[in-house]
Amino acid sequence: MSPDRAQDRSHDCPILHVDMDAFYASVAIRDRPELHDVPVIVGGGHRGVVLAANYPARRHGVRSALPMTRARRMCPEAVVLPPDYDEVESVSSSVMEIFRQVTPVVEAVSLDEAFLDVSGSWRRLGTSREIAEHVRARVSDEQRVTCSVGVAGSVSVAKLASRRAKPDGVVVVPPREVTAFLHPLDVGELYGVGEKTREQLHRLGLRTVGQVAHTPVATLQRGIGAAAGAHLHHLAWGTDRRTLTPRRPTHEPDRSMGADETFGRDTDDRAVVVRELLRLTAKVTHRMRTAGVAGRTVTIRVRFSDFTTITRSRTLPDATDVTGEVHATAVGLFDALGLQRARIRLVGVRVEGLVPRGSVQRQLVLGARERGWEDADRAVDAAASRFGGGAVRRATLLLGDRP
């Protein structure tokens, strides 16, 4: 173990809180570099409210939930863009997929934030700090938006740490530093403490987290209620919830599954791209079969060396979870682009319109083999379950290293 790794105390901090930076605004301008350094507001019409503002707009005091009329007065030079909900949901799904590739214990809070328990990923990916940097790098590289990560031993401290990390940073709060980090803060900064509770505590003369921490629990309970008082005591000492419940955002009921890969070097070699599409397809369809779902729409995503990104989709006659069928469709979509020596940075495969596998009635084909690729896929799944993911691989994937 390197000296830096030995001194990194983030192994004491299994909880990550990942929060996307100005998410709606970041998605809206990621393909418009001319807007990256100017104030941008994403929101509704003249009588609507602000959904998001980028950081140049925030410097003028613009925040989400402000009336648009007030936001325009505060920052008259801002560019106002309508929200693209489909694009936001697509990016959110891809970001959550990155999280789940790091750890299966992902507790999504909303479209743009989630808690991760990475204790099971230390051996594979390094310390919690290293995992946080890995997540930030992948989100930035694959989705061209940024996120901030708080690393701590409990949910509330990780949440506060991610606020301090903004924008586009990492803050680690080891257990020995929790009180120094928490106690100078205003009580209103504690995770879950709203304006009403903050006012109640201020009336009791409790303005800092340290003052709350050193107030007897019974006194807190008399002032704000039994349950709230006990919970506030734990928040003030950073001893609140340390376990997560895996769940997805409400917008994401597994309607699609996908995977992306950024090449180590940009490539214009069709064989390399086709092989990578196969590897990604095998990963996606394995997850689909594990979840007991199948899908009809296959989508590929291609990002070029200049970061221009295109997607293409095709809907099949029947829902499928067969690797060969999805891969053939993905390759067909790629070839239909007619690319001539274009340098490619990233490719992705996604299967959408997922339905329970048991509801799929596949059309029988006259003269088809009694045992086909569907059975082969399930045999590979069984071998992988017993002997590990690399036990059985398609021959094509053995012909070259991963990009």
Binding residues for Mg(2+): 19, 112
Residue ranges at the known binding site: 19, 112
**Rounded to an integer, what distance in angstroms lies between the CA atom of residue 195 and that of residue 197?**
6
Is residue 134 within 8 Å of 125, Cβ to Cβ?
yes
Length of the chain: 403
Distances 249 to 52, 98, 110 between C-alpha atoms, Å: 19, 14, 5
Identify the active-site residue in 77, 89, 97, 113: 113
What element of type H or E holds 165? Answer: helix 155-165
Q: Is beta strand 293-304 parallel, antiparallel or unpaired with respect to 355-356? A: antiparallel
CA angle 139–27–309, rounded 5-degree value: 75
Token pair of 74 as six digits: 């505060």
The pair phi, psi for residue 39, each rounded to 5°, is -65, 130
Contacts of 393 (CB under 8 A, 6+ apart): none
What element of type H or E holds 257? Answer: strand 256-267
Q: Is 113 known to be catalytic?
A: yes
Single out the residue of 33, 144, 53, 51 nearest to residue 94, CA to CA: 144
What DSSP letter does each residue of 46-57 carry, written as one string? TTSBEEEE-HHH
Token pair of 150 as six digits: 């708080």
Single out the residue of 30, 14, 320, 268 nearest to residue 151, CA to CA: 14
31-42 burial, b if ≥16 CB within 10 A, otherwise e? eeeebeeebbbb
The pair phi, psi for residue 208, each rounded to 5°, is -110, 160
Burial of 220 (0-12, 13-18, 19+ CB in 10 A): buried
Burial of 160 (0-12, 13-18, 19+ CB in 10 A): buried
Contacts of 11 (CB under 8 A, 6+ apart): 122, 127, 128
CA angle 236–240–245, rounded 5-degree value: 150
User: How many angstroms from the chain centroid is the CA of residue 237?
Assistant: 29
- Which residues are tagged catalytic? 113
